[in-house]
Chain A
Amino acid sequence: MSTRPALRRLLAAFCLGGLAGISLAQPSPARQQELIHLVRQDCGSCHGMTLQGGLGPALLPSTLADKPAESLVATIVYGRPGTAMPPWQRFLAEDEAQWIVGRLLEGFPK
């Protein structure tokens, strides 16, 4: 049981690493804090601060499990036309979006 989160993390890392060969540069610790704050507070205005959903869908590991990491990253960066999801590329680099998706898939930090 205890190996499952680790496995999932490995899997997420593998999927992300496979994304068109984009490097897996980790945001700096300070930037990670900013990104966590952004997700909880600003993404949270539609998805809920606890990410259990609101006007937008829930962003919990269980609800995202069947969605390809690549498309989740694209959703963050480019938005989803026809829905209320805006593109966040003004505020996020693609590898930062990848880092966010990786964290969402394993259970987002507080």
Chain B
Amino acid sequence: MKTVLHLLWLIAAALLLSACAGSLQREGGSAVQLRGTGDLGLVIERASGHVTLVNTSTREAYARVGGLGDLSHASVVYSRDARYAYVFGRDGGLSKIDLLEARIVKRVIQSGNAIGGSISQDGRIVVAQNYTPGGIKAFDAETLELLAEVPAEYAPGKFSKVVGLADVPGNRFAYALFDGGEIWVSDFSDPKKPLTQRFPAGQQPYDGLVTPNGRHYLAGLFGEDGIAMLDLWQPELGARKILEKYGKGEEKLPVFKMPHLRGWSMAAGRAWLPAIGRHDVLMADADTWRERGRVAVKGQPVFVMASPDGRQIWVNFAFPDNGWVQVIDTLSGKVVQTLQPGKAVLHMEFTPRGEAVWISARDDNRVLIYDTRTFRQLGSLTAEAPSGIFFTSRAARIGF
């Protein structure tokens, strides 16, 4: 009897041990290394449905994940623990990737044609913005189960493409309707029953951003010169136009690529914004929202991104000037550096505290890493037609 009990104890202990060991084993048998994710990120490889996972401390790629569908114009948001990346593909695919295990943990096709997404303040809701069918859809961040949708029906039977989706405090999301000319704010306090407020904005909003404090939502207008601004602390005042007629009397140039308004473009008490159809970066006073001037640049700006400390603004350009990158010093308001990182520069991303910036050069199949103080190249890595670069530091930002 005693020996049987002893044997049972041994078996139980062995089982317990193997269970513990199991939790540290991956399917392939390799042990998962315990580590944080604060210095990780990923690069979209737009043409092949892959992402390359990267480490910004070692400046190296550490894994590659495929099977993500059409990733042209793909964008990424991160879970609040910065372990999972939600990749929004052009074909409506929404994939949840585990950065530590370097694998897809969940993938759904949520629409026919999508343009990006955002994650809620509490980290529980992931929202995708769609062109077809026009509207937004909310998913459980854990399971990717559909929670609710808000069709962008701006007039009876008329649906708009949705652009510029941004999370704002209060588990709300702000976005703009390209065809409908409105800004909508949907409150997901009850995730299955969102409440939506509508605000007339102007002609053809093409993208939007929320200021880093989550207060002001700005929608750039394509159909007219100006930007629609909604004060989310006082939504009852409605959206008003700022930087109206910034190109008065000047002929607008043809636009070969729509600018993007993402990124921290608040720096030195000013908002820095791409002028559409012009070779200018616009500066607006962050208190009065009046124009404070313009900086002439090399082409039509696409991304106008402030470094984390707000000292520099890095700008890339639309075709055919997409081989250039310029840097504006926010103190002097002058271009201080002009770089040629490679062919078809599509995106730039700063490391969390901004000592380096990573730049994708699509047609060179390379990602270049630059020192933001010396402008020297620190390294590079190979990626197939790289586009968006997304680091986990986005997990903690409002508006992403």
Contact = CB atoms under 8 A, between A and B. Distances in A.
Interface of A: 37, 41-42, 44-46, 48-50, 52-55, 79, 84, 86-87, 90-91
25 contacts: A41-B344, A41-B363, A46-B257, A48-B90, A48-B113, A49-B46, A50-B70, A50-B90, A50-B91, A52-B91, A53-B131, A54-B90, A54-B113, A54-B115, A54-B131, A55-B131, A55-B163, A55-B178, A55-B206, A79-B254, A84-B204, A84-B255, A84-B258, A86-B255, A87-B254
Contacts of A44: 72
B199 interface: no
Nearest to B46: A49
A45 B113 contact: no
Contacts of B222: 84
A104 B376 CA distance: 43
A45 B90 contact: no
Interface in B87-132: 90-91, 113, 115, 131-132
Q: Is the interface of A mostly helix, strand, loop or mixed?
A: loop
Given A53-B113, A55-B178, A84-B204, A45 B132 contact: no
A45 B257 CA distance: 7
Contacts of A79: 254
Nearest to B254: A86
Nearest to B161: A55
B379 interface: no
Contacts of B72: 44, 48-50
Given A41-B362, A49-B90, A91-B320, 17 more contacts: A41-B344, A42-B256, A45-B73, A45-B258, A46-B257, A46-B258, A48-B90, A49-B47, A49-B70, A50-B72, A50-B90, A53-B113, A54-B73, A55-B131, A55-B178, A84-B258, A86-B256
Contacts of A91: 320
A42 B70 contact: no
Given A48-B113, A49-B46, A55 B258 contact: yes
Contacts of B73: 45, 48-49, 54
A87 B73 CA distance: 22
B319 interface: yes
B181 to A, nearest CB: 14
A79 B253 CA distance: 12
Contacts of B363: 37, 41
